[in-house]
């Protein structure tokens, strides 16, 4: 039996500084294939190449990855500054309407890091350009030096609300996570519920209230060591189950009748 398809939304990148590519981290593809149990399909995030309608019909669910480019602040009514970093307007043009369509249809998605922020912006929320510049906030950015293991090491606790879906899914009020982001949620979008917080009150986990499908999204990077990490594995397993349920949903077939 064919595996359900997860469209992985990646980023524009430059190979050897002179060859444009659409890039997705291999750890993300392995997490989708080996833990979620789905077929990973890399999406070229450019509206000149794909449409939202095509993606909705081709894929059963979507994983919104992290990435160096940030959501352009014009998407939430603010002017760009140096603190906002670099952008990928092509990805913005694909992912923001895709999130809104998935929420409406009940089609599952899982947002990670930038993807977490995209969900909030798509539904009308705003972002801080640089979390570490805010009073009382810690530096959530990826360490500039070190091995992959050191960059993705567990660095802070995330606390969940009493009756929210993350505590129920993970079976714990608190978990340890990595942290590799500069921006963060400022105001929440329509029906966006923050369900997890770092010790400095930075939003770390969310879901969309009333949405008929899987909308859990996190600010950290659960794709790292997803098969073995006790926090990452249930997230990807639950996402995979939601994608399979969507793929196997009852279809209404309209039969043409002769006049």
In contact, 11 and 22? CB cutoff 8 Å: yes
256 pLDDT tier (thresholds 50, 70, 90): very low
Verify whether residue 255 is a known catalytic residue: no
Domain limits, the chain = 5-247
Question: How large is the average pLDDT for residues 208-237?
Answer: 98
253 pLDDT tier (thresholds 50, 70, 90): low
Verify whether residue 150 is a known catalytic residue: no
12 pLDDT tier (thresholds 50, 70, 90): confident
Counting Cβ atoms within 10 Å, is residue 248 exposed (0-12), middle (13-18) or buried (19+)?
A: exposed
Class of domain 5-247: alpha beta
- Is a pLDDT exceeding 80 seen at residue 114? yes
Q: What percent of the chain has pLDDT over 70?
A: 97
- Is a pLDDT exceeding 60 seen at residue 79? yes
Among residues 72, 140, 181, 221, which one is catalytic?
A: 221
The predicted-structure confidence for 132-148, as pLDDT tens digits, reads as follows: 999 999 999 988 888 99
Dihedral angle sign, alpha carbons of residues 200, 130, 188, 154: negative
Question: How large is the average pLDDT for residues 230-238?
Answer: 98
Question: How large is the average pLDDT for residues 82-103?
Answer: 94
- Is a pLDDT exceeding 80 seen at residue 159? yes
Residue 255's pLDDT is 43
Q: What percent of the chain has pLDDT over 90?
A: 84
Among residues 38, 102, 113, 118, which one is catalytic?
A: 113
Verify whether residue 145 is a known catalytic residue: no
Among residues 118, 130, 204, 223, which one is catalytic?
A: 223
Neighbouring C-beta atoms of residue 42, cutoff 10 Å: 15
């Amino acid at each position: 039996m064919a595996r359900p398809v997860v469209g992985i939304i990646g980023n524009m990148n430059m190979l050897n500084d002179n060859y444009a590519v659409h890039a997705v981290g291999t750890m993300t593809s392995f997490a989708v294939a080996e833990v979620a149990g789905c077929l990973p399909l890399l999406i070229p995030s450019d509206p000149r190449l794909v449409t939202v309608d095509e993606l909705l019909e081709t894929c059963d669910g979507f994983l919104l990855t992290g990435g160096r480019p940030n959501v352009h602040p014009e998407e939430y009514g603010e002017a760009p500054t140096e603190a906002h970093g670099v952008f990928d307007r092509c990805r913005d043009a694909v992912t923001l309407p895709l999130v809104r369509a998935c929420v409406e249809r009940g089609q599952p998605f899982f947002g990670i890091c930038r993807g977490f922020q995209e969900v909030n912006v798509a539904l009308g929320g705003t972002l801080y350009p640089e979390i570490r510049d805010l009073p009382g906030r810690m530096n959530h950015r990826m360490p500039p030096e070190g091995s992959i293991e050191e960059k993705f090491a567990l660095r802070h606790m995330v606390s969940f609300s009493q009756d929210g879906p993350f505590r129920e899914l993970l079976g714990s009020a608190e978990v340890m996570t990595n942290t590799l982001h500069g921006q963060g949620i400022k105001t929440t979008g329509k029906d966006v519920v923050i369900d997890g917080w770092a010790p400095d009150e930075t939003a770390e986990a969310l879901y969309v209230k009333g949405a008929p499908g899987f909308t859990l999204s996190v600010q950290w990077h659960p794709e790292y060591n997803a098969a073995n990490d006790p926090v990452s594995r249930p997230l990807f397993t639950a996402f995979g189950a939601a994608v399979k349920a969507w793929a196997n949903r009852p279809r209404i077939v309209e039969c043409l009748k002769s006049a």
